[in-house]
A and B are shown apart, each in its own frame.
Chain A
Amino acid sequence: MHASAAEAQSPHPRAPRAGMFSRVTEGREVTTREHVRYAIAGRACQQRGAKARVRERGGSLGVSALIATTVALALGATAWPTRAARGVSHAVTSPTAHVTPPFPRPFAAYTLGMLIMHHLQAWPWALAGAGIAAITLLLLFVSGRRLGVSGGLDAVCSYVVRAPYFQLRGLLDARSFRAQFLLGLLLGGFLSAWLGGGFSPSWDMGIFDQFVGWGPMGKVAWMFVGGSFIGFGTRMAGGCTSGHGIFGISHFEGAGLVSTLAYMGAGMVTTNLIYRVVLGAF
Chain B
Amino acid sequence: MPLFYILCGTAFGFVLSRSGAADYDMVQGMFLLTNVQLYGIIGTAVVLTTPGLWLLEKHGKTLFGKKLTIETKPRHKGNIVGGVLFGIGWSLTGMCPGPILVNVGEGKLYALAALAGALVGAALFGKLYAPLAKKLGLPPL
Contact = CB atoms under 8 A, between A and B. Distances in A.
Interface stretch (A1-9, A34-42, A198-206): A198-206
Specify the main secondary structure of chain B where it touches its partner. helix
A154 B122 contact: yes
A129 B89 contact: no
Given A199-B107, A230-B96, A233-B89, A253 B83 contact: no
Interface residues of B, number: 120
Interface in A216-258: 216, 219-251, 253-256, 258
A38 B17 CA distance: 65
Contact of B91 (A66, A144, A207, A270): A270
Given A140-B68, A229-B85, A164 B44 contact: no
A123 to B, nearest CB: 5
Contact of A74 (B21, B94, B112): B112
Interface string A109-130: 1110101110010110111111
Interface in B11-64: 11-50, 52-53, 56, 62-64
Given A122-B26, A184-B6, A267-B90, A227 B123 contact: no
Nearest to A229: B89
Contacts of B71: 146
Contacts of A143: 1, 4-5, 62
B82 A251 contact: no
Contacts of A54: none
A30 interface: no
Interface in A84-104: none
Nearest to A241: B96
Given A153-B122, A192-B14, A206 B44 contact: no
A263 B126 contact: no
A266 B87 contact: yes
A219 B95 CA distance: 14
Contacts of A181: 5-6, 8-9, 12
Specify the main secondary structure of chain A where it touches its partner. helix
Given A110-B25, A230-B100, A262-B80, A235 B91 contact: no
Contacts of A74: 112-113, 116
Contacts of A191: 10, 13-14, 105
Interface in A149-185: 149-150, 152-154, 156-157, 161, 163-166, 168, 176-177, 180-185
Interface stretch (A10-18, A20-28, A44-52, A271-279): A271-279
Interface residues of A, number: 142
A227 B89 contact: yes
Nearest to A190: B105
Interface in A48-84: 59, 63, 66-67, 70-71, 73-74, 77-78, 80
Contacts of B125: 165, 231-232, 235-236
Nearest to B20: A122
Interface string B124-137: 11110110100010
15 contacts: A110-B25, A110-B37, A115-B25, A163-B127, A180-B6, A182-B101, A207-B28, A230-B86, A230-B89, A230-B95, A231-B119, A236-B125, A236-B132, A238-B73, A263-B83
Given A110-B35, A115-B23, A186-B104, 20 more contacts: A110-B23, A116-B25, A129-B40, A132-B45, A141-B56, A163-B126, A187-B105, A188-B11, A190-B106, A191-B10, A219-B110, A225-B117, A227-B93, A227-B113, A229-B86, A232-B85, A238-B79, A246-B46, A255-B72, A266-B91
